[in-house]
Amino acid sequence: MRKVIYSLVACTFFVSTILYAQDNAQTPASEPKTEANSTTTSSSASTPVQEETFHQALKTKFIEGGWEFMSLVLICLILGLSVAIERIITLNLATTNTTKLVKKVEEALEEGGVEAALQVTKSTRGPVASIFTQGLMRMSEGIEMVEKSIIAYGSVEMAKLERGLVWISLFIALAPMLGFLGTVIGMIQAFDMIEAAGDISPTVVAGGIKVALITTVGGLVVAIILQLCYNYCSSKIDGIVGSMEEASISLVDVLIKHNLTKK
């Protein structure tokens, strides 16, 4: 379901970008001068020229950089941000107050035994609670089996937390590569213009070099944004894994204490 949403978002944006680029290309650069236009121009000569907004400037640079390559770079940004936002939300929901959870489990063990502790862990969201559930379910098989179960299921939960990061890293690498590809093509266009004109002048090569620089900047900006998201997710995962390890040790201590008290 998540992949379908990503694909729909990418396709919708790609189609809208193409339509926008075609409309921009079909718009005439200047209207033919008429008597009415000259009158309007003379009357508005004293009116201050409205400054171009950031959104308009961004769209202009997008078209000037070549919508074919800029669309691919922007699709990398959209898909990468979609995965990153989904991961950020999931990781924040997976964060658990381990100290509070361990205390609840210990109280449940003292009052109602393993079944009461299982009800506490099953009603709590997050990988730490899932590990506790697996450990408590193996309580009857001994402490050693509980430890093995916690270690094994901890690896499974860690893999779930890292799910999707490979796609973010893919788009981080892909966006600059697409930008550099546009750079090479822009330089080739510049040399083609020099060959056709037979003269090296700034006017001849400016267009190709401009395309090259814009595509490079676009790819680097996308990579920087996604790299920040990737680092945030990685640090969040490291924090959750640390909490899982600390909580697992605390759970084993609580179970040993419960067995000794029971005896």
Output the tens digit of pLDDT for each of the chain's 263 residues. Answer: 454 344 445 445 544 554 455 445 444 444 444 444 444 444 444 444 456 665 566 566 556 656 667 788 888 899 999 999 999 998 988 887 888 888 888 888 888 787 888 888 888 888 888 888 888 888 877 778 888 888 888 888 888 888 889 999 999 999 888 888 877 877 777 777 777 777 666 666 666 677 777 888 888 899 999 999 999 999 999 988 888 888 888 888 888 877 645 55
Residue 37 covered by a domain: no
Residue 167 covered by a domain: yes
Residue 216 covered by a domain: yes
pLDDT tens digits, residue range 97-151? 888 888 888 888 888 787 888 888 888 888 888 888 888 888 877 778 888 888 8
Residue 192 covered by a domain: yes
Residue 43 covered by a domain: no
* Helices 67-94 and 202-262, packing angle to 10 deg: 20
* Helices 143-161 and 127-137, packing angle to 10 deg: 150
pLDDT in the model for residue 188: 78
Residue 144 covered by a domain: yes
Task: Domain of residue 63: give its range.
Answer: 1-25+53-263
List the one residue out of 148, 213, 142 whose CA is nearest residue 184: 213
pLDDT in the model for residue 100: 86
Residue 170 covered by a domain: yes
Structure tokens at 199: 């003269």
Domain count, the chain: 1
pLDDT in the model for residue 31: 42
pLDDT tens digits, residue range 42-52? 444 444 445 66
List the one residue out of 112, 108, 128, 111 whose CA is nearest residue 120: 108
Residue 172 covered by a domain: yes
Q: Please, what sign has the CA dihedral across residues 136, 141, 142, 146?
A: negative
pLDDT in the model for residue 248: 85
